[in-house]
Chains A and B, each alone.
Chain A
């Protein structure tokens, strides 16, 4: 059971927009930045978003992030078949034993 809750799967058609949610608590998302990762089949995860809404160099602006309270959202516009992947949220948990936590992952299917 992951500390951060993500929907197991989402789907949308090419060209459409999709959002993936990530729900946590005050000890993690509520008081810390959120990052998002894309994991294509058979490859290592790739950082898409950090500090809630910042994109590393090379990440297209089709990918966006936001945070409100204890939840965060990843948005992907102009869906492409190449976006079909697993997506994970992550953050720092400031509880007694401070540590990094990840969501359980969301499988995006581009129909």
Chain B
């Protein structure tokens, strides 16, 4: 079955760049679907960060767009998130997920999530 697994540092210093990777197994990213990042600060709700198609076409949350880059590596069957100039407000559980190509809000498969803390 399709599985997603996030990886990356659990602690990032303020003003630095947060980098996460989502490895996809059981499905080839090149076959379709959008692949997205969603985060959830402790005790708060979900916030969509952005999504990417295998072709590289991207959509970003307008409130984060200036700091976000999402890229895809079809050869490794993974996609990545970079969030620059982080602050404590970026502390959250970060999830990667797959979305239907026709319904970018319908994330049908999720990774388990990875906690990222921004602190010096």
- Taken together as a complex, chains A and B put the C-alpha atoms of A104 and B62 apart, in Å, by 18
A-facing mask of B78-91, CB < 8 A → 1, else 0? 00000000000000
Whether B51 lies near A44 (C-beta < 8 A) is no
| Interface size of A in residues (CB-CB distance below 8 Å) | 28
Instruction: Kindly provide the distance from the CB of B71 to the nearest chain A CB, expressed in whole angstroms.
Output: 18
B30 contacts partner chain A, Cβ-Cβ < 8 Å: no
Q: Contact size class for B? A: 20 to 34
> Contacting A99 at CB < 8 Å: which of B45, B60, B110?
B60
- Taken together as a complex, chains A and B put the C-alpha atoms of A86 and B44 apart, in Å, by 11
Instruction: Kindly provide the distance from the CB of A41 to the nearest chain B CB, expressed in whole angstroms.
Output: 12
> Contacting B61 at CB < 8 Å: which of A88, A91, A99?
A99
Residues of B within 8 A of A100 (CB): 36, 48, 51, 59, 61, 104-105
- Taken together as a complex, chains A and B put the C-alpha atoms of A32 and B102 apart, in Å, by 11
Whether A90 lies near B105 (C-beta < 8 A) is yes
Whether B48 lies near A102 (C-beta < 8 A) is yes
A56 contacts partner chain B, Cβ-Cβ < 8 Å: yes
Q: Which A33-71 residues have a C-beta within 8 angstroms of B?
A: 33-35, 37, 43-47, 50-51, 56
Whether A91 lies near B105 (C-beta < 8 A) is yes
Whether B46 lies near A105 (C-beta < 8 A) is yes
In the assembled complex, 21 residue pairs joining A and B whose CB atoms fall closer than 8 Å, in A order, are: A32-B105, A33-B103, A44-B95, A45-B107, A45-B110, A47-B106, A50-B100, A50-B103, A50-B105, A56-B108, A86-B45, A98-B59, A99-B48, A99-B60, A100-B36, A100-B51, A100-B59, A101-B105, A102-B46, A104-B45, A105-B46
